[in-house]
Structure 1
Amino acid sequence: MRSFLSKLTTIDDKDLTIKEKKIVEYIKGHLKEIVDTNMKIERMAQEAGTGYSAIYGLLKKLNIKGFRDFAISLANDAENQEINIAKNDENVVSGYINIIKQNYALIEKKSIFETLNIIKSSRRIFFCYWENLLSGPAHELSNFFYNSGYNVYLLDSDQDTIKDRISTSNSEDVFVFFTRYGNSSRLDNVINELGEMNRKIIYISGKVASSDVTKYLNSIHTLIVDNPDTSIYKGHISNSVPFNYFNDLLIYHFLNSDK
Structure 2
Amino acid sequence: MLLIEQLTTQENFTSNEQKIAHYILENLTQIPNMNIEQIAKQTYTSHSAVVRLAKKLNFEGFRDFKIALSEAAYNKRYTQEQVDANFPFEPQDSSDQIAKKMADLTIETIKLTQLQINGKLLEDAAAILTKANRIFLFAKGDSQIRSRSFQNKMIKINKFLIVADEYADEAWTAANLTPTDCALFVTYGAKSPQHAKILTYFQEKRIPSVLLSGNPNAALNQLATLPIVISQNEYDFLKIGTFSSQIAFQYVLDTLFSILYAQEFQQNLVNLKIKHALLEQGILSENPTP
Give the shorter-chain TM-score range.
Answer: 0.5 to 0.7
Q: Deviations over 1:122-177 (max 9, x none)?
A: 01000111x21212111111122233212421122765x22222222211100001
Match of 1:224 among 221, 231, 240: 231
Match of 2:147 in 1: 138
Q: Tell me the amino acid that sits aligned with residue 223 of structure 1.
A: I
Task: Please state whether the residue corresponding to 1:202 is helix, strand or coil.
Answer: strand
Q: Which amino acid aligns with 2:197?
A: N
What CA distance in whole angstroms lies between the structure 1 residues aligned with 2:217 and 2:263? 28
> Per chain length, whose mean CA-contact separation is higher, i.e. which structure has more relative contact order (CA < 8 Å, sep 6+)?
1
Q: CA deviation at 1:237?
A: 5.9
- In structure 2, the partner of 1:253 is 259
Q: Give the alignment's Cα RMSD to 1 decimal.
A: 2.7
Q: What is the one-letter code of the residue matched to 1:216?
A: L
Kept after mapping to 2: 8 A contact 1:180/1:225:
no
Q: CA deviation at 1:216?
A: 3.4
Question: For residues 255 and 91 of structure 1, do their structure 2 counterparts lie closer, same or farther at Cα, with a shift above 3 Å needed?
Answer: same
Alpha carbons 1:92, 1:235 under 8 Å: kept: no
**TM-score w.r.t. structure 1 length?**
0.58
Q: Is the 8 A contact 1:195 1:216 kept in 2?
A: yes
SS in 1 for 2:177: coil
1:168-247 matches, within 5 Å, as 168-208=176-216, 210-211=218-219, 213-227=220-234, 238=243, 239-247=245-253
Structure 2 gap ranges (5+): 1-80, 83-95, 266-290
- Which residue does 2:102 correspond to in 1? 92
Mapped to 1, the partners of 2:171 and 2:241 lie a distance apart of 36
Q: Is the 8 A contact 1:103 1:223 kept in 2?
A: yes
> Counterpart of 1:222 in structure 2: which amino acid?
V
Partner of residue 128, structure 2: 118
CA change 1:94–1:214 in 2 (3 A) is closer
Question: For residues 158 and 188 of structure 1, do their structure 2 counterparts lie closer, same or farther at Cα, with a shift above 3 Å needed?
Answer: farther
Q: Contact conserved, 1:107 with 1:223, CA < 8 A, in 2?
A: yes
Query: How many residues are matched?
Result: 168
Percent of aligned pairs with the same amino acid: 14
CA gap of 1:163–1:237, structure 2 versus 1, over 3 A, is closer
Label 1:149 to 1:101 Cα distance change in 2 as closer, same or farther (>3 A): same
Q: Aligned partners of 1:114 and 1:134: how far apart in 2? A: 22
Aligned positions of 1:97-112 closer than 5 A: 97-112=107-122
Does structure 2 retain, via aligned residues, the 8 Å contact 1:95–1:237?
no
